[in-house]
Amino acid sequence: MMSEQALDENFFERISSETEAAESMSVPAPSRLKSRIYSALVSLQKQSGPLLSITETKTKSRGLCVFENLVEISPVGEDVKSLNFCRVCHARVLAESVENAPIYWRHCPYVGFQNR
């Protein structure tokens, strides 16, 4: 009869090998789904209070997309710089509508969701 320790080791080895097999067969989530989830999360975050302004975002060493860079240098107040610019960006619409969308904007969060 096998000891309890041997049974435990056998059990964990079996689970480990099944997990490794499942991971090798896993398929990434569709890029459209990832984009929609991100958009929904940012919208929820906006409901709880203002987003970080572009100035604060850049200070925290996060790169700005080309459109955020334009707003950053514009002569507007920080309240305007706290708007969700992705909400009106064509890259968001494209990413939510097309799988593997041809988006190449540097620092655009939607580019990172594309399964390439």
pLDDT in tens, 46-97: 888 888 889 888 888 888 998 899 999 999 998 899 999 889 999 999 999 9
Range name among 11-15, 38-42, 86-90 with the lowest pLDDT average? 11-15
Looking at the domain assignment, is residue 18 inside a domain?
Answer: no
Q: Which domain range does residue 34 map to? A: 29-112
User: Which residue intervals of the chain are DSSP H helices?
Assistant: 4-25, 31-47, 54-59, 66-73, 90-97, 109-112
Collect all residues with Cβ–Cβ distance below 8 Å to 51 and sequence separation of at least 6: 42, 45, 82, 83, 84
**Residue 17 included in any domain:** no
- Based on the structure, what is the number of domains in the chain? 1
Q: Is residue 11 part of a domain?
A: no
Query: What confidence tier does 16 reach under pLDDT thresholds 50, 70, 90?
Result: confident
- Any domain includes 46: yes
Q: What are the contacts of 19-24 at 24+ separation with CB within 8 A?
A: none
- pTM for this entry: 0.70
Model confidence at 33: pLDDT above 60: yes
Instruction: Read off the pLDDT band of 36 (50, 70, 90).
Output: very high
How many Å apart are CA 66 and CA 73, to the nearest integer? 11
Q: How many CB atoms lie within 10 A of CB 65?
A: 20
Has residue 8 been placed in a domain? no
pLDDT at 8 over 70: no
| 23 domain-assigned | no
Q: What's the CA gap between 70 and 54, in Å, rounded? A: 10
Residue 3 domain flag: no
Flag whether pLDDT at 32 surpasses 90.
Answer: yes
